[in-house]
Amino acid sequence: MGKIQTKDKTKLLFICLGNICRSPAAHAVMQKMVDERGLGDTFEIDSAGIGDWHVGQLPDRRMREHGSRRGYRFDHRARQFDPHEDFARFDHIIVMDEENYRNVTGRAASAAGTAAARSACAATRSACAAARSACAAAGSTTCRRSRAAAGAGTSGP
């Protein structure tokens, strides 16, 4: 299976642990950047969580408040990462920390071990720092605490 991409859109998926803080922040920041540049027709952006704790919930209230003060919109409902569907659907899967990276790459093998899944995981490692910056750009203190607790402040990819 090769790289899956519609002819017009590059598909990006941001992943964190629960999909209520870091990945929806990165999702919102990236969406705003894309929209401001008039590129909404060329990108599809989504986010997901490793776990299912928060499926269906809006992002954390504190993160939404901080982000909205900076012009970001948070209407995404949390969903759980599905390795079988998401590896096939998204061109780039961007994780928020090393633990997420290990989890996602570990699931690549169970997602039929396709070359596309292995390639998507390799790309996440180099994109980690950019996703962390997007989270920080949302300005959420909750985001910063979560990143520190997850070890995002340690040596990265």
pTM: 0.70
Give the pLDDT of the chain (157 residues) as one tens digit per residue.
445 544 679 999 999 999 999 999 999 999 999 999 999 999 999 999 999 999 999 999 999 999 999 999 898 999 999 998 999 999 999 999 999 999 999 888 666 555 555 555 555 544 555 555 555 555 544 444 333 333 333 333 3
- Distance in angstroms (rounded) separating the CA atoms of residues 67 and 12: 20
Q: How far apart are CA 41 and CA 36, in angstroms?
A: 12
Q: How many CB atoms within 10 Å of residue 130?
A: 11
CA distance linking residue 20 with residue 144, whole number of Å: 13
Return the ∠ at Cα 24 (arms to 18 and 29), rounded to 5°. Answer: 155
